[in-house]
Structure 1
Amino acid sequence: MTSPVRTPTQIDAVADDYVKRLIQLAPLSATAMGLPGHDHEIGDLSPAGHDALAQAARETLTALDGVEPADDVDRVTVSAMRERLGLDLELHEAGEDLRNLNNIESPVQGLRDVFDIMATDSVEAWENIAARLNALPDAVDGYVESLAAAAAKGDVAAIRQVRECVDQARELAGPDSFFTSFTRGPAVDAVLDESAACSLVRKELEHGATAARAAYGKLAEFLERDLAPQAPEADAVGRDRYALWSRYFLGATVDLDETYAWGLEELDRIVAEQEQVAAQIAGHGATVEQAVAALDADPARRLEGTAALKAWMQETSDAAIAALNGTHFDVPEPVLDLECMIAPTQSGGIYYTPPSDDWTRPGRMWWAVPEGVTEFNTWREKTTVFHEGVPGHHLQCGQAVFARDTLNSWRRLACWVSGHGEGWALYAERLMADLGHLDDPGDRLGMLDAQRLRAARVVFDIGVHLGLPAPEKWGGGTWTAEKGWPFLLANVNMAEEFVRFEFNRYLGWPGQAPSYKVGQRLWEQTRDAARSAATARGEDFDIKAFHATALNLGSVGLDTLREALS
């Protein structure tokens, strides 16, 4: 698939200049985008570093004021940048960047996770890794300075999040640390020989691993000794903070009370649909639990070992791409390749990392298999492959990276809105069901199982953080974290350890988890509005063209998406 070549405009230049500043100030972003030249750096996580990022955003918004959009692409860029950078500044002014600490998406995890996507296939790559490891202590010092500055203003994460991060930091500081195994593993030996130059790199890696472990030990000590005594017990962040984060994750403003009520209705609707499918699996009157037991007992739906899991992921992904390409989507040639991986971490999560700007790093689907887990059920996860792969994240992100002839680097690589991205991935799951790829009752129950989780966390996340009324069957009164735990256990069909991680995630990352299901809702509303408009014009609605147009915009806020497609 080719896109019409477009002459870059002044607004594209403003956007591209912002990306250049961003990757200098936040080099981990450069690695995520696959932009070279910064893989040896980490950046300044201190208050001064956050101020510098905010200043770059302010100056970029000012630069946009002086330029007139040349075309519709420019108009979307201006809308998207004003929305994203404007929210970055709101969060900065509220001190949210300084207090950033939770169990899944904060510098505690980010400083370690970046190494998963770094190149390891050359001596230069390992030199970059060594340099970044040796820079990690300064980065941790800056992060501690930011947390302390926030604490001085009374802004401290809830004690639950502090304790989770203490445990994570101690693990990374310990004798079995990732940093130790990473710098001594077979990937090192495959590249570094016994020459003097390589021996020097090995020494720097060893020194860097030691420095990284010590830095995480220092972080754990600060969190436990200094921050924990100041941490509040309450998990709920309240309506004002929640509304800000909701806008950030959705790129749209929604009525939170109406969305909560819709979440309850959507959960009931999905459960009713599950019960219908359960009857197809286990007979008339069968419960969802009985259908799940029957599926789990089916040897044809069981995989043994991570090698079999990886092979099944790849086979399922490849088949989906082959089936959709040229029919429902025109998949760009580089996006035809998706690499399925077993992640080096063991959190239980499944996630996607996009291709690098030059495509030397392919798009990858990762499965972080928990320690001791050796058996997997395909009925649960077929829909997940569609979510992370095609037509989900891989098509969405890959198509944006591919659109070099149309979009500037900020639109292609730097802008990511959770509600747009995760909403599309859930939209893609339901689309695959509508296209017949989940007609098998077990696979369909798996899709509904995933949708039920996403609906339940709309209820949990908004209900707990805003202190809304809980339904009588879930305890009545006002939602609390304690009432939310049995609610999640009843609606999330996963191991209790995973549910506990998710429970802590929702409490510490307000507004992010609902962005999946609410994002799907807004995607579907946007599609339905486009269909209604076509009908009003007396035209047939071309859903393939709608999808192509929408995905070629890149990831933008959902209000911007709606404006661009209207």
Structure 2
Amino acid sequence: MSSNTPGSSSGRAPTEVDAFAEDYFERMLALNPEEATVLGRPGVETEYADYSPAGREEVAQLQRETLTRLAQLQPADPVDEVTLHAMAERIGLDVALHDSGRTELNNLASAPQGVRMVLELMPAQTEQDFRHIAGRLHHLPGALEGYWASLVHSAERGQVPARRQVQAVAQQCRSYATEDGALAGYLHSGQQAQISSATEQELAAGTNAAQQAYRVLAERLEHELLPKAPETDAVGREAYRLHSQYFTGTALDLEETYQWGLAELARLVAAQEEVAEQIKPGASVAEAKAILDADPARQLSGTAELQAWMQRLSDEALAALKDVHFDIPAPMDVLECMIAPTQDGGVYYTGPSDDFSRPGRMWWSVPPQDESFTTWTETTTVYHEGVPGHHLQIATATLVKDRLNSWRRHGSFVSGFAEGWALYAEQLMAELGFLTDPGDLMGMYDMQRMRAARVVFDIGVHCGFDAPAEHGGGTWTPEQGKEFLRTHLPISPAQLDFEFTRYLGWPGQAPSYKVGQRVFEQIRADREASAQQAGESFDLRAFHTELLGLGMIGLDTLRFAMRR
């Protein structure tokens, strides 16, 4: 095992910059107990962050002070140089977003979803575990109350979420609070674990309190915020530029990226046409997909079959890649595949606890009307969310305690890095020979095509760019964009509705996948060219280990780090 292998000793002593980053991380963690739960930290299992305007300002003030102190530090080595670059970039954008006055409200990544999702990561086996869950459920209403105060505060300053997002989140809140909703399952789990009657009563009371809090929030959204909400979904170029930079870690040339997205989309459609010819000579892409859909060997029925299949595929991929194409030491060689307790649609990954006692997990949120699945469409998703995608990237960063401080490992999240790597990983699996089946290859191109279409849709709609003539021409409208997505996104109608709403409410995030992949491919191509010019062989496995050992950083910082 080389010194670059995750988990091996590098002999690097912590520096003044590391100590500063550790102190900042701990102070931020104290303000965000949910993140402590994500990391498996004990002591604040029942707490929530302060989502009120005062709580948000406290975080921003700490960040402003940190930026001032950051400028006074001197790096001791190249690792410090990257840390300082990354912290200045990330924290600076956090402050800029706070100062914009916006309180995030969307159907995927805002407080109403986050305060519930943290419950999924809490241990649920022992009596004490369920007491912790009950305690957090009791505190959930306070978290939502603070969040509502922030929504009102932003609205008073002219920052009101779009009507579509308000309606979507209100509907989600009601679904969480139903008798068979996401919150009700904790009481059932506690009863199965045979907890005491006293704890069961605490859990039932906490569940009722949380459910009522979501009903109250739904009522407020519908009756107080919705009348003020604008019909317009697009945020405009200036706001979009800031959000895009936050999600990618680089300032995009939006016009150039939009045109590149159109060209990339055309390239992927052509690649699919070639695969369709392999499936059946003369077949169109739609005809080839119909053939794949009709193949009984590619069918899964129900969520139990889906979960078993994705766990088996994930285990096979991990075994095949381990110590051959990637460094995957224990304990990061374990990944659990789960069916999510929600039914919103989408697939997501949650990382391991800091000590790996809770492994990394892939979650599939299945809409109730989706009862059958086809493996050819989902194989690449397992690689994206698991190995060599999100799990390999996030678990590697978790493991390298000997080289990176806690902020570098856990305190920095950049969608362009995380999602860019996962999308790069999809294409890499084809390159490594794991997608030789034409159906699985068609599925990979489907997912790549979807991400390219999102570049076009997201930038085009939010920035008011002109649509190509073949897509109706004129300035993009959401309705026109939805028809465009229906053409290019290989998902069910329920998933399409969810994704369409997601892009409109989370500006700049959807293109970060393809933008990040583009940067990873550019850096790799530059390294390969340099090796060739020097008459040396290019070690792809070592390149990936070096890259993933950086932790999650913005794309500008990534370029900076890989030049060091």
TM bracket (short chain):
over 0.9
Structure 2 residue 507 is the aligned partner of structure 1 residue 507 = no
Alpha-carbon separation, structure 2, partners of 1:525 and 1:236? 31
> How does 1:390-469 map onto structure 2 within 5 Å?
390-469=387-466
**CA shift for structure 1 position 250:** 0.3
User: Residue 380 and residue 228 in structure 1: after superposition, are their counterparts in 2 closer, same or farther (change >3 A)?
Assistant: same
Question: 1:381 is matched with which residue: 368, 378, 381?
Answer: 378
- TM-score scaled to structure 2, two decimals? 0.97
Structure 2 residue 366 is the aligned partner of structure 1 residue 369 = yes
Structure 2 residue 83 is the aligned partner of structure 1 residue 85 = no
Matched AA of 1:11: V
Matched AA of 1:327: V
**CA shift for structure 1 position 335:** 1.2
Structure 2 residue 135 is the aligned partner of structure 1 residue 138 = no
Question: 1:308 is matched with which residue: 300, 305, 315?
Answer: 305
Alpha-carbon separation, structure 2, partners of 1:391 and 1:122? 33
Residue 182 of structure 1: aligned partner: 185
Residue 126 of structure 1: aligned partner: 130
**CA shift for structure 1 position 33:** 2.5
> How does 1:315-326 map onto structure 2 within 5 Å?
315-326=312-323
Residue 12 of structure 2: aligned partner: 6
Question: 1:477 is matched with which residue: 474, 478, 488?
Answer: 474
SS in 2 for 1:457: helix
Alpha-carbon separation, structure 2, partners of 1:192 and 1:80? 47
Moved over 6 A (4+): none
Alpha-carbon separation, structure 2, partners of 1:138 and 1:33? 23
Alpha-carbon separation, structure 2, partners of 1:253 and 1:546? 25
**CA shift for structure 1 position 190:** 4.0
Q: Which runs of 5+ in 1 are unaligned?
A: none
SS in 2 for 1:336: coil
**CA shift for structure 1 position 208:** 0.9
Whether the aligned pair in 2 keeps the contact of 1:457 and 1:514 (CA below 8 Å) is: yes
Question: Which sits farther off after the overlay, 340-349 or 513-522?
Answer: 340-349
Alpha-carbon separation, structure 2, partners of 1:219 and 1:405? 44
Residue 170 of structure 1: aligned partner: 174
Residue 209 of structure 1: aligned partner: 207
Question: Which sits farther off after the overlay, 428-437 or 105-114?
Answer: 105-114
Question: Which sits farther off after the overlay, 408-417 or 502-511?
Answer: 408-417
Alpha-carbon separation, structure 2, partners of 1:351 and 1:93? 29
Residue 44 of structure 1: aligned partner: 50
- TM-score scaled to structure 1, two decimals? 0.96
Residue 221 of structure 2: aligned partner: 223
Cα deviations by residue, 1:3-28 (Å, 9 ceiling, x for unpaired): 41321111111111112111211111
Q: Which runs of 5+ in 2 are unaligned?
A: none
Matched AA of 1:46: S
Identity %: 54
Residue 114 of structure 2: aligned partner: 110
SS in 2 for 1:38: coil
Alpha-carbon separation, structure 1, partners of 2:172 and 2:386? 29
Cα deviations by residue, 1:237-270 (Å, 9 ceiling, x for unpaired): 0001100010000011121100000000000000
**CA shift for structure 1 position 192:** 4.0
**CA shift for structure 1 position 271:** 0.3
Residue 36 of structure 2: aligned partner: 30
Matched AA of 1:189: Q
SS in 1 for 2:419: helix
Structure 2 residue 529 is the aligned partner of structure 1 residue 532 = yes
Count of aligned positions: 557
Whether the aligned pair in 2 keeps the contact of 1:348 and 1:368 (CA below 8 Å) is: yes
SS in 1 for 2:331: helix
Matched AA of 1:408: N
SS in 2 for 1:427: helix
